[in-house]
Amino acid sequence: MLDDTNVLRQRDPGHVLEHVSKLYADTRWQPALEQTDHDDRELKNIVIAGMGGSALAANILITLLKSWFGIPIEIRRDYELPGYAWQNTLVIATSHSGNTEETLACYAQARERGCEVAVLGVGGSLLEQAADHGTMIARIPDGGQPRMATIKHLKALLAIFQTYGLIDSTLTDEIEAVHDWLLDETAQWHPDVPVHENYAKQLALLAVGKTPVIYGGSLTAPLAYKWKISFNENAKNTAFCNQYPEFNHNEFIGWSSHPVEKPFAVFDIRSDHDRERIHERMELSDRLLSGLRPKATVVHLAGDTLMAQTLWGCILADAVSCYTAVLNNVNPEPVELVERLKKELS
């Protein structure tokens, strides 16, 4: 089925798979910030307010920075800012649509409390307010779903951090350096590549008809979350994620008994930059749970650097989940229930 061009055309009318095959090009997109003046105040902490796919890049950024960045960063997926967010807090409100009500609430609170504020998105109310208030804006080009704009969101966040003098261009340079390599790698997942040569199609065939459960380690937990979101929104499929070593302190035991029938597809996302102890835990857990849960499929991230592996894993997540959507006979593009929920709430 996945090699049948007529089926792909019928079940992917918005050509989302073609869009996924071009995501590598986002590594060369250059964010242009607006209203960049700021007062050089001391920043003691950073809050990134965002929901769903709009917060994915923040997850990744924190992981990339955590071994050396000296300022605490928190992601806020809520209507409320943390109590410590005041004048010495940088609040970055990120909403791809610009109309996410939780993010708009955090933006309003940040201004009321006198925080340093920047925003990121395509347009909508958030960017309209920011333009009126003279707030720093990182504008994302329109087109595509927020879950597939992760690379652009990441580059925009890095540009904001650079503008405040928090980091240099090293991470941005790393993103741009993998353009040609990502082009070659992701071309192997193109719809024209047959199943026996297409890793993304092979993983989709493992996931179809099941609930994917994705595990990451200390450095790959954001990718596990990205895979979860992609299965949820592209394939319209329940999916869950967790992180090692936390998994071994609770969920590990949950697999040992009920429910007896376990229609799951388990994926372990592994990076050779993660601690060897994480790999040992994944392997030992899979062995100890033999016969109690499906055997884990290990997804070994390609690439020399953590950045390269992360971007490779992000694009693979979208490719796998879109092929799963085809197998599920659903359109990978719309998220109609989300839109309906927003309409009902308004």
Q: Rounded distance, CA 193 to CA 216, Å? A: 28
- From 112, 196, 249, 258, the catalytic residue: 249
- From 102, 185, 233, 333, the catalytic residue: 233
Strand, helix or coil at 118? Answer: strand
- From 15, 133, 295, 342, the catalytic residue: 342
| Residue 155 annotated among the catalytic residues of the structure | no
Which structure tokens are listed for 123?
């347009």
Strand, helix or coil at 222? Answer: helix
Query: SS3 letters for 23-81?
Result: HHHHHHCCCCEECCCCCCCCCCEEEEECCHHHHHHHHHHHHHHCCCCCCCEEEECCCCC
Q: Rounded distance, CA 13 to CA 162, Å? A: 39
Rounded to 5 degrees, what are φ and ψ at 98? 85, 5
Q: Rounded distance, CA 341 to CA 50, Å? A: 17
| Residue 80 annotated among the catalytic residues of the structure | no
Amino acid letter at 178? V
| Residue 249 annotated among the catalytic residues of the structure | yes
256-287 as b/e: b if 16+ CB within 10 A: eeeeeeeebbbbbbbbebbeeebbebbeebbe
Residues forming the active site: 233, 249, 342
